Amino acid sequence: MTLATVVGNVVSTGRNDGIEGGRFLLVESCGEDGAPLGSFLVALDLMGSGEGEVVLISQGSSARQTGSTKDKPVDAVIIGIVDLVEAEDRIVYGKDR
């Protein structure tokens, strides 16, 4: 899994993925403190994530293990919205901080 920040939406006039209800978002990989790392990818959002939120991304074959993405052409999916990251006995990221 990877931490990333939602930085925008990806809009296309058509799609052929067979997934109902999901939308594609542009995410940027980030460190445990939410600092951007400069690596971008498009991820399918089934969580209702919003711009600026830190999310958990699953990629590759693992992205196709959810009920909605089973056997679908998906390479990255948002599987969680991060509320808190704790490292070395301190909070390094908090959604409401």
CATH 3.30.300.30 for the 2-12+19-94 domain, yes or no: no
CA angle 75/64/48 to nearest 5° reads 80
> What are 56-94's pLDDT values in tens digits?
999 988 888 787 788 888 899 999 999 999 999 999 999
Residue whose C-alpha is closest to residue 22's, from 61, 67, 79, 68: 68
**pTM assigned to the model:** 0.89
> What are 13-42's pLDDT values in tens digits?
877 767 777 899 999 999 999 999 999 999
Give the other-Cβ count within 10 Å of 78's Cβ: 25
Quote the CA–CA distance of 21 and 68 in Å, as a whole number: 9
